[in-house]
Amino acid sequence: MTDPAPPDPADPPRPARGLAGRLPLVLVLAGAILGTVLLRDSLTFEALAANRERLIALRDAHMGLVVAGFVLSYALAVALSLPGGAIFSLAGGFLFGLFPGVVYNVAGAATGAVAVFLAVRAGIGADLARRMASGGGAAARLQAGLRENEWSVLLTMRLLPVVPFFVANLLPAFLGAAPHRFAVTTVVGIIPGALVFTSAGAGLGTVFAAGGEPDLSLVMAPPVLLPMLGLAALALLPVAVRAWRGRRA
């Protein structure tokens, strides 16, 4: 009698039955609803402008605590899919400068993204991934395509600014992506965008003095957008090569 084959490390874990298996996702959804209702007026540029002097004074008095609180707050906002990610990135640049502000922004956003990915994957994501794999059809082919090109697909989703951030967190969980690949591609893929927003935040002092608002349309400007599209195309190159080889074979 042969031993059973070892489990594929990319396969999602079997979720616990009952409420315990759904609890992480339930908490995420409840937190998202409450956070959107209670904090929608706080996660705005106007709120940042109104509290800028207080935030600077707090940073100067308690730098370590402010850094920890900022990263944790950013992570919670992302994990709960709250609006205001751009405001957090601007605040990171405003409070800490381009560097180390970009490090804190990437740390907060990536931590929150991995947290919500794991929560969804442990709940309905694991069940859905198994049903897709066993059900066949287009869904199974989509899942198999992701498995075959996981690094490239996940990285491209992060690099393309047209893909909403929360979608890039949830879709891989539903398709059964490997956690370590999700985490690595998230950190690497959000760096270009984080640099742009953190740089804009670092110049907010001048914007505040003029009584204006930051021009976030620069993310879609050709000097910024074209290099990001180039990186996305480079990430997809292995997919194109595999497809070309498959056709030749």
- The answer to whether the beta carbons of residues 31 and 81 sit under 8 Å apart is no
Cα distance between residue 44 and residue 85, in whole Å: 10
- The answer to whether the beta carbons of residues 85 and 77 sit under 8 Å apart is yes
Cα distance between residue 243 and residue 249, in whole Å: 10
Question: Which pLDDT does position 1 carry in this prediction?
Answer: 45
First vs last C-alpha separation in the chain: 37
- The answer to whether the beta carbons of residues 24 and 123 sit under 8 Å apart is yes
Q: Locate 96 and state its tokens.
A: 């800490």
Question: Which pLDDT does position 15 carry in this prediction?
Answer: 47
Domain edges within the chain? 19-248
Q: What is the dihedral sign for C-alpha 183, 189, 100, 114? A: negative
Q: Locate 117 and state its tokens.
A: 């990915």
Question: Which pLDDT does position 180 carry in this prediction?
Answer: 94
- The answer to whether the beta carbons of residues 27 and 80 sit under 8 Å apart is no
Question: Which pLDDT does position 2 carry in this prediction?
Answer: 46
112-138 pLDDT tens trace? 999 999 988 887 766 666 666 565 665
Question: Which pLDDT does position 7 carry in this prediction?
Answer: 46
The DSSP secondary-structure symbol of 123 reads: I
Helices (H) and strands (E) in the chain, counts: 13, 0
> Is 0.85 surpassed by the pTM of this model?
no
- How many C-beta atoms surround the C-beta of residue 210 within 10 A? 8
My answer on whether omega of the bond before 161 falls inside 30° of 0, hence cis, is: no
Question: Which pLDDT does position 32 carry in this prediction?
Answer: 77
45: amino acid identity, one letter: F
- The answer to whether the beta carbons of residues 129 and 12 sit under 8 Å apart is yes
Low-confidence ranges of the chain (pLDDT < 50): 1-7, 9, 15-17
Q: Which helix (H) or strand (E) holds 55?
A: helix 52-61
